[in-house]
Structure 1
Amino acid sequence: MYSLILHGRRLQKWRHAVNLVLNDYAFSVPNVFSSLSNSFSSASVSSLQDGLKGNNFTVSYLVDSLGFTTKLAESTWKKVTSEPKGNPDSVLNLLRSHGFTDSHISTIITNYPRLFILDAEKFIAPNLKFLQSRGPPTSELTEILSKVPKILGMKGDQAVGRYYDFIKDIIEADKCSKYEMSCLSLPEGTRQENIIRNVLVLRRLGVPQKLLFSLLVSSSHIVSGKERFEDSLKKIVDMGFNPNSSKFVEALRIVYQISDKTIEDKVNLYQKLGFSVEDVWEMFKKYPFLLAISEKNIMNSFKTFMSLSFTRDEFVRMVKHCPQSIGLSAELVKKKTEFLMKSRICSLEDVVSNPAVFGYSLEKRIVPRCNVIKALMLKGGGIPSVGYILVCRDEVFLNRYVRKHDDKELVAELMAIFTGEGAS
């Protein structure tokens, strides 16, 4: 089966590293986790006191204290405060009271903003209390939890303690001049031994720390296996995935969780829809989740595009260019296609050439931009390409079609249309 996927460029140095690590339990690992072990620093009393005097969870706090850009701060603030039951201020104050500095909090917000919509007293406080009861230094506790904040949102002391210990063991492994299981006093053949061993393999391949930790707290338990982990990892390396990218981890997760038979069935289904085997694996490299989509949803997606007057060849072209198109809601695909056709700003062929438009928000991106273009058309303007209208960032769009006009009244009118404050 997997002879089909070896058409890509072999990444020899990664494959060699996989075999080297998997076949040898004792080898040198200088500074593999130095970024972890060297980063532990004590949170001073004065720093904690300053933190308690700081702002609440506001855009200005994110910008002034944590160094976020205004755009990122506004986006993060909206994401966190949109949850009715959430109270980010209580989470923020709880973290500060336990010695988390602004630097720690910035890392947590960036990596796991969901923590700030959890109930501080119901979930986070009990986990902090449990971990503190085990006696770790504050500097160790805050550093580990800021790197893997998802631990604070877990349920049950056993799960919280287990994942915390995984991270701690990884740090301990880095203190050995040679990586040997005996240096950690781990029982041979245990799940914990497998995790440490597999984590080291991934680090040696170049998987970033952030992605590595996301695997450790994954519910799929990818890094706790042995033979299946080794087999899945070799397949992903053979496909040519870059270990530095998030797609490497996504692909590893998919291949680990899905049987060879299921993968083969999916490939056969895509072939029936008009894709070649090579097409499927190229799309998988762009969008690993492609093979996790159910056969029912794949067929529903195909039927949806056919019902909108796209041909089979056009469907294949779109999905090859933008594989995410096949996993979108049928209702949204219909709404977006119908709106674009009625707007008379683009044709079906324009959509086929720019399938990424299906991933854009109808209300926040497609409608306001098309309304601006329609207003310009009524004043004698031409119709620009869909790529120029929808693919660019908001700032580029505004500079290109709104702010460039000398007529200030026209600029104000177009801006009102863009923001939804004026009629189109």
Structure 2
Amino acid sequence: MYSLIQKLVSFSSYSKPFSSATTLTHKVSNFTVSYLIESLGFTTKLAESISKKVSFEEKVNPDSVLTLLRSYGFTESQISNIITDYPKLLTLDAETSLAPKLKFLHSMKGASTSEFTEIVSTVPKLLGKRGDKTLSVYYDFVRDVVQAPENCRVLLLSRSSFPQGNLENKIRNVTALRELGVPQRLLFRLLVSSYQPVCGKERFRESLEKVVEKGFDPTSSKFVQALHVVYQLSERTVEEKVDVYRRLGFSVEDVWDMFKKWPNALKFSGKKVTQTFETLKKCGLIEEEAVALLKKNPQFLRVSEENIANSIETFLGLGFSRGEFAMMIKRYPVCIGFSGETVRKKTEFLVEEMDWSLDDVVSHPQVFSYSMEKRMVPRCGVIKALISKGLLGSELPSVCSVLACTDKMFLRRYVRKHDDDKELVAELMAYLHQRA
């Protein structure tokens, strides 16, 4: 006993610095979230998301940034968009870093306040660029794209004004993408990013031709994603990756179909693809079933072997057999990506509280994607109430009948049929408005 106490004391003493650091980080994060909610009216969810990218523990600097933006005529809506897209702006020094850039752009370009604020709020990351000449070229490009008629497919820019090097390549390449129909929201991300695909010259042209040849829609984000992947891979590397898939039972057409569904399917190493394939077989799938699963859901490749193993352990621990686990993967592959806590909590609720069987869950594994708070608990509350009043007969409705239908269908099926009893309907509606 004494030895155990010694270990606990020793562990406690070593964990204090870590605990203090964790507490400080949590405190800073909480301050950031509170500031974003109070100063910009952000939702808690958005504020928490932004706090993962940038954080601060005092409001002096972010207050100065917001005051500066307002002084230049940015509306509250534009400021919200700017901070959402480029939260790092709140950490810049308003006087020495941000003010000179805003002053330069506003005074040198001779634009109206509304035009100026529209351009900057459309691509706020241009304020992160250094050097007046570079900043000017980025600004001009964004202005020309924003102001060009929607039906204008060709952007006429003065090549003589471009500085030499990567920026010239980047603007030329982004212009080419615009001519193909790539939407502004994707163009501007490429313009201000440091990703290679739009910085090259010959390599960019070759990659673009391959992506167009594969039939990707230029208006979709997959087009840009595919461009990234193709740009990064040599012909030899692509051939080697395709060969890995072929050895596992895929045809060349299968591989390119997977690439069109999810371009990142070609980014994984042959070792990772093979490991995932073998792990699926260990889960109980035969070779043809594993091929079919990955053909339909290539995104499955990003799930680690460790997560798959943990998922198997969780399901088996809850009483599912390996055969049932394999069946659920075939019916709803993404269920393997849910956390053990989610799977356990929902299974116990459905089986122990609602008295559905494990077979019912196996037949409809989509239940693991349903919200406990917004769907499962409220709807099941209605079912329990109806059962207690003897209004559902002797058999419990199927999981699918209760949880898979739309809200409108559920109301019609289990609530509106009792419209003649206003008190009962009010009671049932109260269940639907409750939260877990």
Q: What is the TM-score with the length of structure 1 in the denominator? A: 0.67
Question: Does residue 326 of structure 2 align to residue 351 of structure 1?
Answer: no
1:406 matched to 2:406? no
Cα distance per residue 1:286-326 (max 9 Å; x no partner) = 11111112233223333433444443333222211211111
1:57 counterpart = 2:29: no
Question: Could you tell me which amino acid in structure 2 is paired with residue 166 of structure 1?
Answer: Y
Return the letter of the residue paired with 2:76: D
> Which residue matches 2:414?
none
1:360 aligns with 2:331: no
How far does residue 268 in structure 1 lie from its aligned partner after superposition?
A: 0.8
TM-score (norm 2): 0.66
1:313 equivalent in structure 2: 288
Give the aligned partner of residue 267 of structure 1: 242
Find the partner of 2:130 among 157, 164, 168.
157
Separation of aligned partners in 1, 2:209 and 2:287:
35
Give the SS at the match of 1:383.
helix
**Aligned equivalent of 1:129:** 99
Superposed CA deviations along residues 227-246 of structure 1, whole A, max 9, x for unmatched, are: 32222222212212111211
Aligned with 2:62 (options 88, 91, 94): 91
Give the letter aligned to residue 263 of structure 1.
V
Counterpart among 64, 76, 86 of residue 46 in structure 2: 76
Whether contact under 8 Å (2:119, 2:139) holds in the other structure is yes
TM-superposed deviation, 1:280: 1.0
State the SS of the aligned residue for 1:370. helix
Opposite residue 79 of structure 1, the aligned amino acid is S
Moved more, 183-192 or 327-336: 183-192
AA in 2 matched with 1:157: R
| Cα distance in 1, alignment partners of residues 65 and 304 from structure 2 | 39
- Bigger drift between 284-293 and 223-232 goes to 223-232
**Aligned position for 1:16:** none
Q: Which amino acid aligns with 1:405?
A: K
Query: In structure 2, do the counterparts of structure 1 residues 275 and 180 end up closer, same or farther at CA, with 3 Å as the change threshold?
Result: same
Task: Classify 1:129/1:109 alpha carbon distance in 2 versus 1 (closer, same or farther; 3 Å).
Answer: closer
Structure 1 residue 304 corresponds to structure 2 residue 279: yes
Counterparts of 2:206 and 2:193, CA distance in 1: 19
**Greater helix share, 1 or 2?**
2
Displacement of 1:355? 1.0
* Amino acid corresponding to residue 353 of structure 2 in structure 1: L
SS at match of 2:236: helix
1:101 equivalent in structure 2 = 75
Residue 284 of structure 1 pairs with residue 259 of structure 2 = yes
Q: 1:168 is matched with which residue: 120, 130, 140?
A: 140
In 2: Cα distance, 1:317 partner to 1:123 partner: 54
CA spacing shift, 1:232–1:292, aligned 2, 3 Å: same
State the 1:352 CA deviation: 2.2
Give the counterpart letter for 1:107 in structure 2: N
Number of aligned residue pairs: give it: 343
Question: Matches of residues 201-240 of structure 1 in structure 2 within 5 Å?
Answer: 201-240=176-215
Q: Is the 8 A contact 1:229 1:256 kept in 2?
A: yes
State how far apart, in whole Å, the 2-side matches of 1:292 and 1:399 are: 42
Deviation track 1:37-58 (CA, whole Å, cap 9, x = no partner) reads: xxxxxxxxxxxxxxxxxx9422
Further displaced range: 310-319 or 79-88 = 79-88
Q: Is the 8 A contact 1:57 1:92 kept in 2?
A: no
The whole-number CA distance in structure 2 between the counterparts of 1:58 and 1:131 is 27
Distance 1:324 1:380 in 2: 30
* Larger relative contact order, structure 1 or 2 (CA cutoff 8 Å, min sep 6): 1
**Greater displacement, 118-127 / 339-348:** 118-127
**Alpha-carbon distance in 1 for matches of 2:161, 2:106:** 20
Question: Is the Cα–Cα contact under 8 Å of residues 167 and 199 in structure 2 kept in the other structure?
Answer: yes
* Aligned equivalents of 1:263, 1:139: Cα separation in 2: 48
CA RMSD of aligned residues (A): 3.9
8 Å CA contact 1:195–1:225 kept in 2: the answer is yes
Match of residue 252 from structure 1: 227
Distance 1:398 1:205, change over 3 A: farther
- Cα deviation 1:96-143 (Å, max 9, x = unaligned): 432242211332355x3xx43x48445777541341353425656643
Provide the C-alpha distance between the structure 2 equivalents of 1:192 and 1:81, rounded to a whole number of angstroms: 31
Identity of aligned residues (%): 31
Residues 1:375 and 2:352 aligned together: yes
Distance 1:315 1:272 in 2: 13
Distance 1:167 1:269, change over 3 A: farther
Gaps of 5+ in 2: 1-33, 108-112, 389-427
**How far off its partner does 1:175 sit?**
6.4
Residue identity opposite 2:134 in structure 1: R
- Shift in CA distance, 325/379, structure 1 to aligned 2, threshold 3 Å: closer
**1:225 aligns to what SS in structure 2?**
coil
| Distance (whole Å) between structure 1 residues aligned to residue 319 and residue 99 of structure 2 | 61
Summarize the Cα distance change of 1:122–1:362 in structure 2 as closer, same or farther, 3 Å threshold. Answer: farther
